[in-house]
Amino acid sequence: MQIGPYRIDPPVVLAPMAGVTDKPFRLLCKRLGAGLAVSEMTHADPRLWQTRKSMHRMDHVGEPEPISVQIAGYDPAMLAEAARFNVANGAQLIDINMGCPAKKVCNVWSGSALLQDEPLVARIVRAVVEAVDVPVTLKIRTGWDRQNRNALTIAHIAEDSGIAALAVHGRTRADKYEGDAEYDTIRAVKAAVRIPVLANGDVTTPQQARRVLDITGADAVMIGRGAQGRPWIFREVSHYLTTGELLPEPTPIEVSAILLGHLEQLYAFYGELAGVRIARKHLGWYAKDRPENVAFRQVVNQAESAEAQLRLTRDYFSALSAGVRLAA
């Protein structure tokens, strides 16, 4: 898939997720096969740019290109300025957030709330596209609710306004993350525009990625929640799309190496106190849907220091590799 001068290969993309796709996680997913990793959203309000959280979100030093930064807001001029600011700070792609369903985002008329105002959508995308010399992408949902699906209209607005690629999460804002993704809607969007389309929603296995691409005709799949606790899904999907073969599940030793490396990066990036706290949700995701890991989740979440978190993680996976199961 081509976005401006950048070839996205493999066409398997990490979705932007607030509080998840920070720099350590983006670097990990890129290393494990993601062709592109989009940053968690940064607010367009310049009054927030100097906060500790925003400074972390805008840190792209050493990140492999292309560097994609998502911006969120409702004011065209403010979003245009945010795009310029982020390009000046290393962004090579700017992504506009019109897909977030979170109440606190929608209540300030940002994220997927914008889908209710098509003229405003047009003003925003034109303002951002005209503000910067890098490709601008857009992430949307299929509409505000099931009675107001307007993804096709938004897609035409995006294409006419110079958007370089469009990611579609196959649910309405009202659906949040419930029910099945609407791949038929994504297929209709892909058939209606000439720009690249990324299909997002419920891609949790290599087989599902293949199915979604076949159904929608999309140029790439975008993976969000499917990567939480399974960042190696990118290499699995890429391998399957290329060969039709499934890679073996990573061994406990491999998972341990990936997880320990991720923890070290979190501590280095955020500092020990915040790093340990942020690591807990990732540890929980690594353990999700694995009954044998209940004990791991319970034990590691009690750790108050980086040393303890690393030691407990290392000990657990060493025991797992040796065939020893810890009691819950």
* Helical H segments across 132-250, by residue range: 151-160, 183-192, 206-216, 233-243
How many angstroms separate the CA atoms of 136 and 177, rounded? 26
DSSP 33: T
Task: Look up residue 147 and give its two tokens.
Answer: 């009675």
Whether 168 contacts 200, CB under 8 Å:
yes
Contacts of 117 (CB under 8 A, 6+ apart): 109
DSSP 173: T
Contacts of 51 (CB under 8 A, 6+ apart): none
Q: What is the DSSP pairing of strand 2-3 with strand 6-7? A: antiparallel
Active site residues: 100
Give whole-number Cα distances, 264 to 33, 90, 141, 269, 282, in Å.
Answer: 20, 24, 35, 9, 13
Q: In 3D, which of 88, 182, 99 has the Cα closest to residue 138? A: 99
